[in-house]
Amino acid sequence: MRALARHTPISIRTEHFEPLTFIFRQQTRYCAQVDHFHSGRLAYKFPNRVPRAVIQNARVLKEDWVPQELQHRDGQLQHLSGELKPIAHGLGAKSIIITGPSGTGKTTIAKYIVRQLEQEVFGIRWGYVNCISETSMSSIIYSLVGDAGRANDLRKEGTPTAVLLDRLREMDEHFIGIVDEVDVLSDEQTIQALWEIPNVTLVLVCVNEDDFFADLDSRVASRLRGAAKISLEKYHHDELCDILWGRIHAGIASGVVEEETVDYIADVAAGDARHAITLLRRAVRDAVESGDETLTGDHVRKVREDAREEIHDRNVDTLGTHQRHLYEIIKDAGEISAKDLHARYEGRVADPRAKSTRRKYLQSLEHYKLIESAGSTRARRYRFREP
């Protein structure tokens, strides 16, 4: 076919504008410009060249992607690796508690080290569960047993917890269970039951250690006091820039992203890697859809609100049934007293959780910036927080 000259207009008779637009977008990476529409004829202008591919590996722009090398967490990685090292020699390892604010890499370093251990040592299996999404003892343990490949013949609903625990106990391999958001766990006997299995090691992830221990049964708390502690702080500006550049080099074409753009993203994210990665991905998408080959601060400014809303919505999507009820009551009210909140919750739910468990849920909603609270315990009021 003869090459089209720069912006050569061509007319196509069509009654289906959208399908043709889709075809041109797929074939040229630029959606063809519509020159005019007259008497059922669409006139398009095509650019004289196909732009280079901006995205080379979209997967690395996802928040849950675990890179081959983690930056600025060397000390914590060595600490975690050292605590799990006895497993490589056929021995047990004590439980580990990883704490830190949202976006500091708690879950990432846990999965990173456990995956490394799995690759280097025979006889290891591991599983992951988030206690915000899976709230009951049976659902948490079922999720871990499923990751271990031992639940194929079991139903999530109706399988006795004792049967699930036996599946872990009867494994020949050593099992490492990563229990995320453990500070919102409604039934602390879950941790005790897992802790008592000889071939199970727990890696517990939470925002604040004091909040986690505050409502624990004294017997469970005494056992976990001896757990290894790994604490993470928010990333510094330069550290966040390094993390972003690592993703950029792995997934975006060279020369696309300006250095000033990365600095700006790090400023906006304020130490939160999850926020920074979301901003980067949304800005790259905007640049691609706009047909731009350079990512600038303007793209980031354009998607700031969208990124905040995405993070907000993602956090809401992870909520379990009872957390969602509390969140929706606060959202519908705009602002509500603790007394009225609990009364509405109890009137709305058939099997309400204990008040101590509700307090954990409300703390987690605050940690993820879904709500705000003010006042003392008796006079406390809760407010919905806009994205």
Q: Are residues 108 and 183 in the same domain?
A: yes
Q: Where among 289, 316, 343 does a domain terminate? A: 316
Answer yes or no: do 159 and 307 share one domain. Answer: no
Based on the domain organization, do 39 and 88 belong to the same domain?
A: no
Rounded Cα distance, 240 and 237, in Å: 5
261 vs 8, 296, 330, 344, 384, CA distance in Å? Answer: 35, 5, 37, 46, 32
Residue pair 323/132 in contact by the 8 Å Cβ criterion? yes
Model pLDDT, residue 2: 40
* pLDDT at residue 188, as a whole number: 82
Quick one: 218 and 311 in the same domain? no
Give the torsion sign (CA, 258, 264, 267, 271): negative
DSSP SS3 for 142:
helix
**Structure confidence at residue 21 (pLDDT):** 35
Residue 2 lies in a domain: no
The CATH code of the domain that includes 325 is 1.10.10
Residue 264, domain CATH: 1.10.8.60
Give the model's pLDDT for residue 161: 94
Instruction: Give residue-wise pLDDT tens across range 160-198.
Output: 999 999 999 999 999 999 999 998 887 888 999 999 999
Q: Is residue 248 part of a domain?
A: yes
Over the chain (387 residues), what is each successive 10-residue block's mean pLDDT? Answer: 40 40 36 43 42 81 88 95 93 94 94 93 94 90 95 92 96 96 88 93 94 83 91 97 95 93 97 96 94 94 96 94 96 96 96 90 92 88 95
Give CA separation, 28 vs 1, 53, 344, in Å. Answer: 15, 11, 55
Strand order in the sheet with 335-337: 335-337, 381-384, 371-374
Q: Decide if 4 is inside a domain.
A: no
The domain total for the chain is: 4
Range of the domain at 326: 319-384
Q: Based on the domain organization, do 144 and 83 belong to the same domain?
A: yes
Tell me which residue of 103, 105, 104, 101 sits closest to 113, measured CA to CA: 105
Indicate if 308 and 323 belong to the same structural domain.
no
The whole-number pLDDT of residue 25 equals: 37
Same-domain pairing of 166 and 19:
no
Q: How far is CA 144 from CA 114, 173, 233, 235, 372, in A?
A: 14, 14, 28, 30, 32
Query: Are 174 and 212 within one domain?
Result: yes
The CB density around residue 355, as the number of other CB atoms within 10 Å, is 11
